[in-house]
Amino acid sequence: MTGQSRESIWAIPPRWRLPYIALYWVQWFLAMYGVVEFLSWLHPSYSRGEVMEAALAHIPAVTALGIPATFTLMEVVQRLMVTYDYLMNKYVRPLQEKQRAEGREQGLAEGRAEGRVEGRVEGRVEGRVEGRAEAEAEFRQLVGEWNQRRLAAAARNEPFDEPLPLLENGDTQNG
């Protein structure tokens, strides 16, 4: 919007059209009611029916005064709506976008950190699994060599008193 551009009274945003028209008619009926009450106050001896007849007789005057007053109030309402849209676009929406961006960044950072932690945990688990597999393979190799020596001694009819190989923790079973 340039410094020279203007908003017309008829350039009502679509979402505000129904309230705008409703406000016009409410104001017109309030103006008529005001005339009836004013005439009742001005002529206390008149009955309500006579006041209504007098009000109907004053419709042209009420219309002549009520329409400009209504349009003036509608112009004020439109200016408030334009100001509201301006303030929303200038201050609120950029702040909301900034908060969304910060939230996205925070979520990404948390996701990365969670990924690192999960990666470490998975790495530890994989390391343990691989370590156990290596220890088991080493133990099987030791037992296999021991068994070959035992079978060789049995084939030669020699006594075999070598104990079963132990793991580092002193256990003969992998577990």
pLDDT in tens, the chain (175 residues): 445 555 565 667 777 778 877 887 887 788 777 777 777 788 788 787 777 777 777 777 767 776 777 778 778 888 888 888 888 888 888 888 888 888 788 777 777 777 676 767 777 777 787 888 888 888 888 888 988 998 998 899 988 888 887 755 555 554 4
- Residue 169 resides in a domain: no
- The single-letter code of the amino acid at 134 is E
Say if 61 falls within a structural domain: yes
Phi, psi of 14 (to 5 degrees): -55, -35
* Position 164 in a domain: no
The three-state secondary structure class of 129 is helix
Q: Per the structure, how many domains does the chain have?
A: 1
Judge whether 136 lies within some domain.
no
Structure tokens at 143: 């037992």
The pTM assigned to this predicted structure is 0.34
- Residue 22, pLDDT score: 84
> What is the Cα–Cα distance from 143 to 26, expressed in whole angstroms?
99
**144 in a domain, yes or no?**
no
Residue type, 102: E
Say which amino acid occupies 85. D
DSSP 45: T
pLDDT, residue 102, reads 83
Q: What pLDDT, on a 0 to 100 scale, did the predictor assign at position 62?
A: 66
Domain hosting 59: range is 14-121
Q: What pLDDT shows up at residue 1?
A: 47
Within a domain: 85: yes
User: Residue 30: inside a domain, yes or no?
Assistant: yes
Q: Which helix (H) or strand (E) holds 42?
A: helix 17-42
Task: Give the model confidence (pLDDT) of 121-156 as tens digits.
Answer: 777 777 787 888 888 888 888 888 988 998 998 899
Quote the pLDDT of residue 175: 45
Q: Confirm whether 62 is domain-assigned.
A: yes
